[in-house]
């Protein structure tokens, strides 16, 4: 008659599956970013590096937002105004967590001055940044009654 108390709301994914999707989408959006950057460099070799970074960042951002919205947070469209709020907060948190990533990467490089340290610091910064971003997105961007 009544569902067990431990049952998740209909459509809610197991938390482990949600985390796996979030990480996979982070990797996928990074690959989209790099591919878009490469395409800009190949098709417009005279263009400044900044243009390829801008295009790559935009492409990765859009892909990650759409995947997170639908497949991580199961968020529905409500209104244009609400969607602008979500995209704006998502972008703000993306910038903030990118600063965490860069800070760890640059600090590791400054201390040890090796490529391994730089990438290890970057990996640690990315892990911390993505963890923080997930928590921020869940609480402030894709707010639901179940979150």
Question: What is the predicted pLDDT for the residue at 47?
Answer: 85
Domain coordinates in residue numbering, the chain? 13-72, 78-147
CA distance 83 to 65: 11
Written as six digits, the tokens of 83 are 């969607």
Question: pLDDT digits over 7-26, tens only?
Answer: 344 445 677 888 899 999 99
Q: Taking the C-alpha atoms of 115, 49, 100 and 143 in order, what is their torsion angle to the nearest 10 degrees?
A: -140
- Concatenated DSSP letters for 75-98? PPP--HHHHHHHHHHHHHHHHHHH
Task: Pick the more confident residue, 132 or 5.
Answer: 132
Q: Which long-range contacts (CB under 8 A, 24 or more apart) does 110-113 make?
A: none
Q: What is the mean pLDDT of residues 42-67?
A: 92
Q: What does the alpha-carbon distance between residue 26 and residue 70 come to, in Å, rounded to a whole number?
A: 14
pLDDT for residue 90:
97
């Amino acid at each position: 008659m009544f569902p067990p108390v431990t049952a998740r709301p209909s459509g809610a994914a197991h938390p482990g599956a949600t985390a796996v999707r979030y990480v996979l989408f982070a990797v996928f959006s990074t690959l989209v970013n790099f591919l878009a950057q490469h395409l800009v460099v190949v098709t417009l070799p005279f263009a400044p590096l900044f243009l390829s970074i801008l295009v790559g960042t935009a492409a990765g951002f859009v892909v990650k937002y759409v995947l997170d919205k639908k497949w991580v947070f199961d968020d529905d469209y409500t209104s244009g105004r609400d969607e602008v709020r979500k995209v704006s907060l998502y972008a703000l948190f993306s910038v903030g967590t990118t600063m965490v990533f860069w800070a760890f990467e640059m600090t590791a490089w400054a201390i040890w001055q090796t490529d391994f340290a730089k990438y290890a610091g970057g990996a640690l910064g990315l892990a911390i940044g993505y963890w923080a971003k997930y928590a921020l997105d869940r609480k402030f961007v894709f707010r639901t009654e179940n979150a």
